[in-house]
Amino acid sequence: MTDRILVNITVNGMVYERWIEPRLHLGDFLREELGLKGTHLGCEHGVCGACTVVVDDEIVRSCLTLAVQADGAMVETIEGKSESGAIRDLQDAFLERNALQCGFCTAGLLLTADALLQAEPEADRARIREHISGNYCRCTGYHAVVDAIEAVGECRRAGARGAQP
């Protein structure tokens, strides 16, 4: 009745084929099946944002996505985003500005921030706060997080202006 299903999921550019139980959510798939422990699981009901990953270029809650629903999808996790250097500027800014302490929320916050800056490079502080409102951080008080994201937004905008077409 709860037979395993064969899925084919591309994670950080690598294709994985696995037989999995339908009830397995994407967060557990990444952590337990693939050993990618950078994606954290906090509440497992959609509230804390620690499990945020990118599926087909959009951030989602990996705890509210079944792995079987991600069959055929392209998933990116904090590991892939780090290794490719895509969010190096955000990671550096989080360190510099003390925007992470225990680090539990950090992977989710970085991916959430990156999604905002890609869609709205000009996002102001109010917009940044609104956008990260779905990510709990128990350590930083958010001010430093907003500082870091704002600083990277400014840098990316300056870079875009300076870049040659």
Partner 1 sequence: MKAPPFAYRRVDSVAAAAALLREHGDEARLIAGGQTLLATLGMRLSEPSLLIDIRGIAEMQGIAVADGHLRIGALARHVDVERSALVARHLPLLSLAAPHIAHAAIRNRGTFGGSIAFADPAAEWPACTVAADGALTLSDGTRSRTVAAADFFLGLYQTALRPDELITAVQFPLPGPQRRFAFTELARRHGDYATVGLALAGDVTDGRLDDPRIVYFGVGGTPVRARAAEAALAAGRAEPAALDRAVAELGGELAPAGDLYAAAATKLHLAGVLLRRGIQSLMAEDAQS
Ligand X SMILES: Cc1cc2nc3c(=O)[nH]c(=O)nc-3n(C[C@H](O)[C@H](O)[C@H](O)COP(=O)(O)OP(=O)(O)OC[C@H]3O[C@@H](n4cnc5c(N)ncnc54)[C@H](O)[C@@H]3O)c2cc1C
Contact set with ligand FES (CB under 6 A): 41-44, 46-51, 61, 63, 100-106, 137-140
Give the count of alpha carbons within 13 A of 79, CB side only. Answer: 14
* Segment interacting with partner 1, rule: CB under 8 A, options 31-39, 76-84, 128-136, 146-154: 128-136
CA 69/CA 37 separation, integer angstroms? 20
Site map for ligand X, 36-75, x if CB under 6 A? Answer: ----------xx----------------------------
Beta strand ranges found along 12-162 (DSSP E): 14-20, 52-55, 58-61, 74-76
Helix (H) or strand (E) run with residue 9 in it: strand 5-11
With CB under 8 A as the contact rule, which of the stretches 1-9, 29-37, 144-152, 156-164 interacts with partner 1?
1-9
* Nearer CB in complex with partner 1: 69/101: 69
